[in-house]
Each structure stands twice: as structure tokens, then as C-alpha cells.
Structure 1
Amino acid sequence: MLKDFKPVLGILLRFIVVYVVLLLAYQFYLNEFAQLGLDLFSRFVAKQVMDVQNFMGYPTQLYDDIKGEQVYFKVKGVYATRMVEGCNAVSVMILFASFVFAFYKGRKTFFFVLGGLVLLYVMNVLRIVGLNIVMTDHKQYGKVAHDFIFPAAIYGTVMILWLLWIKFFALKK
């Protein structure tokens, strides 16, 4: 009877192992920045968001709050939003990579994960840019945008990538 579940258990075990290892590695990384404020990757994302917004005609400056472990976006002279560690989408990227590696298919797994991570990074930067624009120009829609629309965009991208992986790669012989 257990033979019937062996493939499913293998996939589940790979997912759990990859997820836990990546999560612990990320937590170890975050612990290194506990006293320095926002971690380097989150700062890099904030800088990219600032660059995109400046390019789009939304003059943006960043202000550090080291004690609060956050960076504030000042857009068009107004403090629009703040960037905290959870805004960098690393936890979403870990979840994405863990699922794809659970259905490991050789070298193409690494290429798909790499491409997916790049896409998720770009989507996340655009998500934060969009949220800053909404909070600057249409503040009345800020809560809906932050709580529903923009999370749906990032998680929707993950779901589409997972479906593509399963349909076109994982289930192919």
C-alpha cells in the first residue's frame, strides 16, 4: 500500500527539505543584519524601486529608519510607504523554488527556478512601484491595493509559474 504513495511522499519530502533549508539560510542571513537596520537585499529592492519611480517621473528619496528596520519612500515630497523585510518577496521566492525543486527534473529545474526568480523580482519591484503610485496619487485605494491587488499580482505570478512548470516540464517524460 505504501508503494502507491511513494512518489507523492518523495515530492512532499523534497519540498519540505528544500523549504526548510532555504528558510533557515534566509533567517541566518537576516540575523546578520539585526542591529544594522534593513538587510542588504531589501535595501537593494528599495533602491531599484526608487530608480524606477524616478525614471517614471515620480521623484523619490529613501529615508532610513535603522531602529525600526525599515526604509521610507518619500515620493513627490510625501512619505508614501515604507519598506520592511517582508516586502522583498524572498519568502515568496523560497516557496516558489521549493515547489519547483520538489518536482526536480535535472538541469532544467535550475534554469526554470533562476528565470522564475528573476521574473518574481521584477514583479515585486513593479508591485512596490505600483503601491507607491497608488499611495501618492490615489490614497483612498491604498488599503485595497496593499492588501488585495498587489499580493494577488505576486502570488498570481507564482501560481502561473508553478502551472507552467508542472504542465510543460514536470509531467513530460
Structure 2
Amino acid sequence: MKNTIQQYKPFLLFLGKFALTYLLLTFLYQSYLGQFDVKKAETDGFTKIVASQTEFLLQLVDNNSYTMPHLKEPSVKLFYHGKYIARIIEGCNAVSVMILFVAFVVAFTGKLKNTILFILIGLFVIHLLNIFRIALLSIALYHYPNLEHLLHGVVFPLFIYGVVFFLWVIWVNKYSSYASTTPSK
């Protein structure tokens, strides 16, 4: 048994760090969300920021793009060319994706400075690309409303998760402890 544990120690450490980080960040995020009353259609602040930044980006393309609070549910209505296109809900703010990203980077530990810097840069990249993702999705839905399921359910999630996967590959191969201990070919 001891030999088995020793043999799988790197994997078990990875799994433990990942689970602990993921659960801690998820707990903190859920505690944050708990401050908002869903029954009163209160939208969390970060989702409002994402909606506002998406509105700004869309206004660069069309002056008749705007957002407004949804009165019956905790979301923000998004209008493009003056037409109600979508609602931005808590799940659109990419925080759950960010939590997953951070947990993975922490699990594949690297030098503390590199880890913190990579996490901060990665969170910024994910946030920025999420804003572009929502804006592009809104434009696409305006022009191709019949493709909503494909665009919202497949193409754009693939985009955001693809970016996160790419960041993970960079982290593991360039900055994690694993990268420094693996011989180069």
C-alpha cells in the first residue's frame, strides 16, 4: 500500500491541490453570489461589469446597442441594433471558468511569482476574451437567430474552453514545476 501511494504521490498531490483550490474558490464565489436576492431579480456586480463592457464593445460597432436590467430575473438584457438579442446571466461572466483555470494552475505548481503572475494574466485574458465572445455571439445571433443553439451551445463555449486549454498547455510546458524537471529533447 505504501509503495502504491508513493508511486502515485505526484498525481495525488495534483488531485488534492486541484480539489482544495477549486472547492475553496467555489465556496468563496457562492458566498459572494449569496449576497444577491434572486427573487428580487438582483444581478451580481461582476455580471453587471461584464454586461457593461460588452455594451461598450458593441457600441463601437453600432451606436444603437445598449443594456438594461432585466426586471423579472437576475440578468441584464442586451440589445444590438435596438433589438433585444440576449440576456447576460451569472453564468456568462466566466467566473466558473476562471475558477477552473486557477485550480489547474495551482495544482501544477510553479514558482510562486510565476504562478501569481500567470494567474493574473490568464484571468485578464479570459475576461477580455469573454467580453469579445459575448459581443461576437450577440452580433452572430442578430444575423443568424436560427443558429442560436449551435452558436451559444457549441461554438462559443468551445472558444472559451479552447483558450483556457491553450493557457494550461503554456503553463504546464513553460512555467510549472513539471516543465522545469522534464528534460528537453
- TM-score, with structure 1 as normaliser: 0.95
Counterparts of 1:108-147 in structure 2 under 5 Å? 108-147=114-153
1:165 shift after superposition = 0.5
Question: Hey, what's the Cα distance between the residues in 1 that align with 2:63 and 2:148?
Answer: 17
Counterparts of 1:1-173 in structure 2 under 5 Å? 1=3, 2-34=5-37, 35=40, 37-57=42-62, 59-105=64-110, 106-170=112-176, 171-173=179-181
Q: Identity, % of aligned pairs? A: 34
The C-alpha deviation readout for 1:42-100, integer Å capped at 9, x for no partner, is: 00000000000001225212121244101111111210010000000000000000000
| SS of equivalent residue, structure 2 residue 8 | helix
Question: Hey, what's the Cα distance between the residues in 2 that align with 1:7 and 1:150?
Answer: 34
Whichever of the two has the greater Rg, that structure is 2
The C-alpha deviation readout for 1:95-121, integer Å capped at 9, x for no partner, is: 000000011112100100110000000
RMSD (CA atoms): 1.2
- TM-score, with structure 2 as normaliser: 0.89
| Letter matched to residue 172 of structure 1 | S
Unaligned runs of 5+ in 1: none
| SS of equivalent residue, structure 1 residue 172 | helix
Q: Contact 2:41–2:73 (CA<8 Å) still a contact in 1? A: no
1:36 shift after superposition = 5.7
